[in-house]
Chains A and B, each alone.
Chain A
Amino acid sequence: MRDLLLILIPFAGAAAALAWQGERSRPYLLPATSLLHTALALWLLFDPPVVGPGAWFGFDPLARAMLPAVSILFLVCSFYCVPYLRTCISRPNRIFVALLLAMLGLMSAAHEARHLGLLWIATEALTFAAVPIVHFAGTPRAFEATWKYLLIGGTGIALSLLGSFCLGYASLSGGGTGDLTFTALVAQGGSLSGPWVVIAWVFLLAGYGTKMGLAPMHTWKPDVYGEAPGVMGAILAGGVTTVAFTALLRVRAVVDAAGESAMASRTLMAIGLFSMLVAALFLLGTRDFKRMLAYSSVEHMGILVIATALGKVGVWAALFHVWNNSFTKGTLFMSAGNIRRAAGAHTVDEVSGMSAITPRSAAIFVTAMLAVTACPPFGPFFSELLIVRTAFATNHLAGAAIFLGCLLFAFFGMTRLVFAVVDGKPRPAAVQGRKRFAETAGVVLPPLVLLVLSLWLGLATPQVLRDSWTAAAEQIFPGP
């Protein structure tokens, strides 16, 4: 029941937001609701419920290993939203608040969904719920981004639906009932019809890969992350992508049960490395620090997928990396949002010397950039190092080499851009920005909190999280 509450609370909040009248006070619903949500999520993390085998929704080990990260990220973002929405009070925020909360609910639902169809429904709904927030700015650029997001995302989602049907049909033609709950599918295991499983995997990988933003299905990402509000970028990059990743993990469990494990690893490794390569290439020459974050996100999705291809330890590392990615990406997006609003632009051609205008945000931005490029002692360093180690241990020498090479090039690109933005002489436009944008605690603390969290996660990973990841990895790869 508690796990269903996790889905219901945000929807209740959304309903409240729709009904709420005060424009100024409505944003406070966000932190209020997500506080409840996070509290509940943490309670569930420490004291996981027993999930019935046939249950459609449930806080099973996989959900337990990921959902709290999303919840915490959302909590921090919601605190950031309050001052953000106050600055653009001109635009009505009813839809914004309601849909953001609905997204939280849908993300919880997707993470907890143990039925392929429901998982798909939640993901699709999530996609469409994000639309109005993406073009919250209301500029033509925002509309263009939304359009691409919709059509590419929609197509991808459609493919994943096709994949889900194929999986169901695999069960049917394997003599099963076509029951789409993961437990049933895994239970049917070897008797699933092989060809259909493979076809299903291809469609699902492509479909949910589009949602994750794996190359070459990533093309919507830079546009959306570049145009959407920073906090939205944080939630997309740290929350929505993890939903798609959960889906892939759950499906992978089925595919392995059907005895197609090698095929899955092969495809995952390939698409992961390709994503990292593309991301590294685009990061090398990028000049727009918000689109840079998008490519960095593509890179990290690639890292997750590669880790998933490496077996049990890899999945453990991947789950670790999900947390790190959520927190560091959140920090980056929020601090970048501050800098963008102060500078009034987001390409290095128009922005420089921000350490003089927004010293705190600039410092946080640089630190988070170092963290996300695997500089110790922040979390990503540990997870990525573990992934490299696992890759070597499983004799993926070439894979590991490419992995490290891409990390290096990504580092080159990101450091160059970020230092160019932070150092140097401030532009006159930004100097006026001093008046336009003040670095209040409300906009500086949230990213800082996430940064500290990621530091803490790296140096002293809590045992309960380690256990939860172990349990989740066990759920994906049962047995030794």
Chain B
Amino acid sequence: MTLALVFLVFGALGVVLLSMNALLGPKRTNPTKEKPFECGSPPLQDGINPFPIKFYLVALLFLLFDVEVAFFFPWALVFKSMKGTALPILAAYLAVLAAGFAYAWKKGAFSWD
């Protein structure tokens, strides 16, 4: 029961906070407000030109390993109740991802310039 209550309250709170700004904020635009904020001076380039690919690669790898770390939290919660089998399971899980990490490193994904 409390789980439902928690989801209800926090869900409602999230919705209210997000919609309050959309609902209450006055909408008055002018041509300057549409332009990107570049410390007040006129932008030197209009539009965004192509980015080097290595940024996308780093972003993807970060996402991968960040989600990996995210799975530690539920594992930590049930750590006590698993009585001893927790560590080998985590080791297996990490080994798989470490292999991926070593592969990326060898392929040169992390060499920057």
Report if A and B associate in a common complex: no
